[in-house]
Amino acid sequence: MVSAAVALAFVPLLLSLLLRYRHHAALLCRAALAPWLRERLGGAPREQRALRFVLAHAAPGDPRHVLRTLDRWSEAREHLSSVGPRKGRILERLLRERAPLAVLELGTYCGYATVLLAQGLPPGARLYTVEMDPRHAAVAEKVIRLAGFDERTVELIVGRSEEVIPRLREKHGLRKADFVFMDHWKRCYLRDLQLLEAHDLLAEGATVLADNVIFPGAPHFLQYAKTCGKYRCKVHRTSLEYFRAIPDGVAELTYAGPR
């Protein structure tokens, strides 16, 4: 009787937690559990399923239509961890304002942000995008080329960011980046920012954008950016891609040079 009474006492708390975090539970189901179950039952990885959908429905050579098709997939079918349309507008606006000639993306995934960045580049600009997972890179390659961008505009580099960054100048010809977009493993943000500094790959005044700094979060990266004296830092408050009820943010750093 005592144990039953104790269990009943926790019911209101459990109901309250379920109600409060119902959107996070929905994200867990759509982003992790459902894809995992489909793959265990013999289906292709969700990125491959998304690619098949894009190849079947997107207009070749039309970057915006490719992005809208990826949005349709993520909104109605399975969640992809892409920047999405709401945060994408922040990215587009800043890219338009800065007009960078050398752009570096860390975390290509399926190529959503790569296409978004590439379509906003000024004439003569070049985008270098780094993806550690060869399977994701293979999907991204097809998405990027379907959108109409060739190797002269977008160079896709497969490898771990901590190994690629030190070779960017010598092997890939990136002297300094004017614009950096981070959307890979959040725990790598701070390490890779410091690697870019150590290898003198950030132009003075360069913009560094980092996605998902609130959810799932990158607290050490934000603390460093705000306190090291090398950056002006602001956070654009928004929501998680395709889940408006989950708060998120994009950090905007402006590099002032070494201190």
Q: Is residue 55 part of a domain?
A: no
- The torsion angles phi and psi of 107, rounded to 5 degrees, stand at 105, 80
Residues 72 and 7 in one domain: no
Q: Is the pLDDT of residue 21 over 70?
A: no
CATH code assigned at 112: 3.40.50.150
Residues 113 and 19 in one domain: no
| pLDDT per position as a tens digit, 59-81 | 999 999 999 999 999 998 888 99
Residues 37 and 77 in one domain: no
Give residue 11's pLDDT: 57
How far is residue 51's CA from residue 145's CA, in Å, rounded to a whole number? Answer: 12
Is the preceding peptide bond at 247 cis, omega within 30 degrees of 0? no
Please identify every residue annotated as catalytic: 183, 186, 211-212, 241
Give residue 22's pLDDT: 64
Which CA distances in Å does 213 have to 64, 97, 224, 239?
26, 22, 13, 11
CA atoms within 13 A on the CB side of 54: 32
Residues 29 and 145 in one domain: no
Residues 222 and 159 in one domain: yes
Do residues 183 and 213 touch, judged by C-beta distance below 8 A?
no
Q: Domain residues for 241?
A: 63-255
* Average pLDDT score, the chain: 90
**Sorting pLDDT into bands at 50, 70 and 90, what band is 258?**
confident
pTM (predicted TM-score): 0.89
Q: Which two tokens stand for residue 184?
A: 């890979």
Residues 103 and 192 in one domain: yes
Q: Is residue 154 part of a domain?
A: yes
Q: Which two tokens stand for residue 92?
A: 């587009």
| pLDDT per position as a tens digit, 175-192 | 999 999 999 999 999 999
Tokens 């928004």 sit on residue: 238
How far is residue 133's CA from residue 126's CA, in Å, rounded to a whole number? Answer: 22
Beta bridge partners of 126: 102
